[in-house]
Every structure is written in C-alpha cells, then in structure tokens.
C-alpha cells in the first residue's frame, strides 16, 4: 500500500486596493468622516501538484481623520462600527490599534442589514 502526502502551502494575493473618503457609523447618531485605504486579500492554497485553489478573503486597511479620541472609545467598548465607502459599499470593521488600523469582520455589503443596528 502506498501513501501519498500532499503538502499544501498558502500565499496571500492582493485583489483590490480601495481608497477614498467615507464615514464611520457606530450607531451613536453622529457619523465620523474618515479617509480610508483598504486592501482586499485572498488566500491562495497551493497544492503539491502545482494547482491553486482560492481560499478565504480578508480586508485590512487604515483609517484617517479627525476625532481619533472616538476610536479609543470604540476599541474599549467592543463596538464593531460600519464603514461607509464613497462607492456605496459598507464594511463592518474592528480596530486593530488606536492609530486607525482596521480589519473587516466579513465582506462588503450594500443593502440594509439587521446587524447595522447592533454595536
């Protein structure tokens, strides 16, 4: 009996870079105007036979703007605010640090979601 071991490795491929101005809404009634630079990455799983299979997509980036003291409130409060992009898409985000580094909690969405109302 012969056993074949297939070692897989993964690489990150940047699919898109998105830059613009939008606003951050965390349900407090006053959105915060921000600039953003986001990168959309997709994990590519490389099999031992040379083929690649698309894996998980992640969205990471940076926010800039005035009112950074609000970001620390968001991080401590465990909020997951919604970033509204200038092209109409939305992204629920988590703050990685108090300097505006963020990661998306899922993919982009455009229509109303019941999760929009939760902190």
- Please report the pLDDT score of residue 66 as a whole number: 73
Q: How many domains does the chain have?
A: 1
Q: Confirm whether 12 is domain-assigned.
A: no
Digit-by-digit pLDDT tens for the chain (119 residues) are: 444 444 557 788 899 999 999 998 877 777 888 999 999 999 988 877 888 889 899 999 999 887 666 666 666 666 688 999 999 999 999 888 877 889 998 899 987 555 544 44
User: What's the pTM?
Assistant: 0.78
Q: Confirm whether 87 is domain-assigned.
A: yes
- Please report the pLDDT score of residue 92 as a whole number: 93
Q: Confirm whether 44 is domain-assigned.
A: yes
**Residue 67 belongs to what domain range?**
20-113
Contacts of 103 (CB under 8 A, 6+ apart): 58, 59, 60, 61, 93, 94, 96
Q: Confirm whether 7 is domain-assigned.
A: no
- Please report the pLDDT score of residue 47 as a whole number: 78
Contacts of 107 (CB under 8 A, 6+ apart): 57, 59, 91
Q: Confirm whether 10 is domain-assigned.
A: no
Q: Confirm whether 9 is domain-assigned.
A: no
């Amino acid at each position: 009996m012969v056993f074949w071991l297939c070692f897989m490795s993964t690489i990150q491929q940047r699919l898109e870079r998105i830059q613009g101005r939008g606003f951050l809404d965390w349900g407090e009634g006053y959105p915060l105007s921000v600039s953003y630079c986001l990168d959309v990455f997709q994990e590519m799983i490389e099999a031992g036979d040379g083929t690649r299979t698309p894996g998980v997509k992640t969205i990471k980036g940076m926010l800039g703007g005035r009112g950074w003291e609000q970001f620390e409130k968001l991080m401590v409060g465990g909020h997951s605010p919604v970033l509204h992009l200038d092209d109409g898409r939305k992204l629920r985000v988590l703050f990685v640090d108090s300097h505006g580094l963020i990661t998306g909690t899922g993919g982009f969405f455009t229509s109303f979601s019941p999760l929009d109302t939760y902190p």
